[in-house]
């Protein structure tokens, strides 16, 4: 838990400290789309995990990982702002759509978390990271988000299955 908090704090510090160094480089459409897609994905998983908490109560790992997803979204929003992009609100949070996608049991919800974190890695590796390869600030944050998903979130969801 302590290492996860430290990891989150480091991610935020890295995002805040390095992005001004690279923010002058204009973003192409592929990089802009990658940032928007990454933010939407973070919003989606945050809303999904919040719906799980609403349904099953303050249970691990959903409560911890939902906060991590909020931190991830904040890091992406900061990147977007540093590159002159507007940041859309999370319209998925509290939505009926998210509540309706939840399975009946906590165990099944944990399996859905496993699937979401595996899909997250594929999204970053196959789509998002290649789209921002010429933008070091975005690449670094994307790598950290992908790694947090694989090293922290995925094992936590596997344990609760």
By residue count, the chain amounts to 161
Question: Which string of DSSP letters, residue by residue, matches 43-102?
Answer: HHHHHHHHHHHHHH-S-TTHHHHHHHHHHHHHHHHHHHHHTT------SSTT-HHHHHT-
| pTM of this structure | 0.84
Cα(39)–Cα(33) distance, rounded to whole angstroms?
Answer: 10
pLDDT higher than threshold 60 for residue 5: no
Cα(40)–Cα(37) distance, rounded to whole angstroms?
Answer: 5
- Contact between 47 and 93 under an 8 Å Cβ cutoff? The reply is yes
Which of 90, 62, 93 lies closest to 76 in space, CA to CA? Answer: 90
Q: How many CB atoms lie within 10 A of CB 61?
A: 21
Would you state the CATH architecture of domain 2-160?
Answer: Up-down Bundle (1.20)
pLDDT in tens, 30-72: 999 999 999 999 999 999 999 999 999 999 999 999 999 999 9
Higher-pLDDT residue of 23 and 52 is 52
SS3 104: coil
- Contact between 94 and 47 under an 8 Å Cβ cutoff? The reply is yes
**Confidence at 21, pLDDT banded by 50, 70, 90:** low
pLDDT at 20: 54
pLDDT at 161: 81
Cα(46)–Cα(52) distance, rounded to whole angstroms?
Answer: 10
Higher-pLDDT residue of 24 and 124 is 124
Tell me what the mean pLDDT of segment 97-123 comes to: 94
pLDDT higher than threshold 50 for residue 23: no
Q: Domain coordinates of the chain in residue numbers?
A: 2-160
């Amino acid at each position: 838990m302590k290492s996860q908090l430290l990891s989150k704090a480091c991610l935020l510090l890295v995002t805040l400290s390095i992005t001004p160094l690279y923010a002058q480089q204009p973003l192409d459409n592929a990089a802009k789309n990658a940032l928007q897609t990454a933010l939407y994905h973070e919003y989606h998983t945050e809303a999904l995990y919040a719906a799980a908490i609403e349904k099953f109560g303050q249970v691990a790992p959903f409560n911890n990982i939902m906060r991590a997803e909020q931190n991830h979204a904040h890091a992406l929003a900061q990147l977007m702002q540093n590159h002159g992009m507007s940041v859309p609100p999370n319209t998925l949070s509290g939505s009926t759509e998210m509540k309706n996608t939840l399975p009946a049991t906590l165990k099944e919800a944990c399996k859905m978390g496993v699937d979401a974190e595996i899909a997250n890695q594929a999204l970053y590796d196959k789509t998002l990271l290649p789209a921002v390869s010429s933008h070091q600030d975005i690449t670094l944050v994307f790598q950290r988000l992908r790694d947090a998903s694989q090293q922290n979130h995925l094992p936590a969801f596997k344990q609760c299955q």
